[in-house]
Amino acid sequence: MLAAILTICGTAAFASCTANDDNPSGQKVESQYIPQAPDYSNPTMWITADGDADGTGADIFYVVSTWEDDWTTADGKVCHYADVWNPEHRAHMADLEMKKVAAYMSPGNRFYAPYYRHTTIQAFMTNSEDTVYQRTRLSMEDVRTAFDLFQAQRDKTRPLIIAGFSQGGLAVVELLKHIDDKTYSQLAAAYVLGYKVTKADMAASSHIRPAEGETDTGVTICYNTVKDVKYVLPLIAGSDICINPVNWCTDATPATLHDTITITVSPEHHVLVATNYSASEYPPFRGFLNVGDIHSCEPWLYSECLARNIKVRAKEWRKIHQPTVARIQERGKLLVGTTGDYRPLSYREADGNYWGFGIEMAEKIAERIGVGIEFVQTSWPTLSADVQAEPQTFDLAIGGITITDTRKETMLMSDGYLCNGKTILCRATEADRYQSLADIDKPEVRVMVNPGGLNEKFANENLTHATIIVHQKNEEIPAKVAEGDADVMITEITEAPWYVQNDPRLAAPLLNSPFTHGLIGVLMRKGQDDLLTLVNAVIAQMKADGTLRKLHEKYGLV
């Protein structure tokens, strides 16, 4: 369940008997009861299912249809809405529809369906557009509130699916009008099942774009099924768009469903005509529904088609909006460049296994993408060239890489996930000798650095008198200092504590007064903006859920 960040409070209310939307004349009518509003921070207000084990699916926001009749309170008040705080009403929505839809939509995806004060069937049985509009305003307000909370908390690097049946289909249309362009850019598809999409709807929002085939994204799928076009119910099925969910054609090309049923679009009436199908499992309802139309079949008859298509459009969305991530997913593994010489961020053991803070960060990124991981050896002198190499040798680089303006000019760098700064390692017996940069910058002081990185750059720019020794292997330098082959190592506040803790011969006397201040991030080549967005989302999530703090503690970086 999405973590709650918003509480919507409400109290039960009684409508007055004077002029109002349902009673414009002001004639005396029965008192009406308005149920308490949902609190969508309460998990009770949701049906959720996480079937996305590998993280490559979509987030589905589903809106349930109509399951209540008008009802009367104990003191005689009439209610035209479902009561989300009534367990019986919630059971109707959940058991008769929401859980069943989740059963076929959630595999491979994450499914979220809110309870809401949906309008009772009597509003639709009036066959009055005005009545439906007036009564569903409250219902749509609930849906918008639920969606806004869902959208605020979900991982926006994932494709979005919005779907709903009947009154829920109406809610999908209203949500498409409600969302902003940024949210629309995350939309793989919207599914309006058993309700209409009109020219007026499309004119009202550029977000409502009719699907033209099986793979287009950011589109709206709409269909209504009848046995004959003479049974079209304009209030619900008087649509101006329609697509066949069996063959994904908008013309009259017939499609065979379940071996015997033929489904054909009527381009003139924008409905599906089903032949060789009795629909006996959906008996007529009060002479209003299923009387030649087959309204009740919409989420069920085509369930296999819908489940497949959601996955198809989500995958296509990733190809368009996340080409780098999609390529990694197709490959099945994330290729990570790392030097393997920078304890405790990235270290390669003799057996070839890697460990460290940065290594665990990379594993979290691979987990979010839904793939395995492979580490590729790089070095500090060749890091930038390796990141930008053609053909590409790895997707990103990690492990002690400081964010700098120079790197950002030619490459992409993530948000910072660890504070950093230049400091020194020296022999513990000489810790008092080095209390400032001036104490180090003397001819008799031998300063050792690894080549090609910011340590060498810092030494060359700031030490004009000391003797600078370049040693090829960064991980060997602390021992060189401890053994007397050098006096000082230029290093980072992320690296120095590990060596001090693991070698009593060493000290880091300026650890709390670093010469520079910066942040460590993830490095990648230009043009991988979708991967950068995903990496930043992983970092933000790790900060929010405490995972990053736990890594700091694990590796002694607090």
Task: Quick: pLDDT tens for 433-465.
Answer: 999 999 999 999 999 999 988 899 999 999 999
- CA geometry: angle at 397 spanning 491 and 545, to 5°? 90
pLDDT, residue 6, reads 27
Provide Rg for the chain, Cα atoms.
Answer: 31
Global pTM? Answer: 0.79
pLDDT, residue 31, reads 76
pLDDT, residue 556, reads 85
Distance CA 505, CA 520 (A): 27
With beta carbons less than 8 A apart as the criterion, state whether 475 and 495 touch.
Answer: no
403: CB partners within 8 A, 6+ apart? 413, 414, 416, 518, 519, 520, 521
356: CB partners within 8 A, 6+ apart? 342, 343, 344, 345, 346, 347, 399, 555
Residue 108 neighbours by CB distance under 10 Å: 16
Task: Quick: pLDDT tens for 57-73.
Answer: 999 999 999 999 999 99
Distance CA 424, CA 418 (A): 18
User: Do β-strands 523-525 and 488-492 pair in parallel, antiparallel, or remain unpaired?
Assistant: unpaired
Distance CA 93, CA 247 (A): 30
Here the tokens at position 100 are 């069943």
Convert 83-131 into a string of H (helix), E (strand) and C (coil). Answer: CCCCHHHHHHHHHHHHHHHHHHHCCCCEEEEECCCCECHHHHHCCCHHH
Distance CA 169, CA 191 (A): 7
DSSP 289: B
Task: Quick: pLDDT tens for 324-355.
Answer: 999 999 999 999 999 999 899 999 999 999 99
Place of tokens 């400091």: 423
With beta carbons less than 8 A apart as the criterion, state whether 246 and 255 touch.
Answer: yes
Q: Does residue 431 surpass a pLDDT of 50? A: yes
Categorize the per-residue pLDDT at 10 as very low, low, confident or very high, splitting at 50, 70 and 90.
very low
Map out the domains of the chain with their CATH numbers.
Answer: 43-224+305-321 (3.40.50), 324-417+521-555 (3.40.190.10), 418-519 (3.40.190.10)
**Of 25-34, 149-158, 331-340, 446-455, the least confident:** 25-34
Distance CA 402, CA 413 (A): 9
Listed residue (128, 135, 114) closest to 20, CA to CA? 135
Q: What is the mean pLDDT of the chain?
A: 93
Distance CA 461, CA 440 (A): 13
pLDDT, residue 20, reads 47
Phi and psi at residue 317, to the nearest 5°? -60, -45
- Please state the separation of Cα 70 from the chain's center in Å: 38
Cis check: omega of the bond before 38, within 30 degrees of 0 = no
Collapsed DSSP state (helix, strand, coil) of residue 330: helix
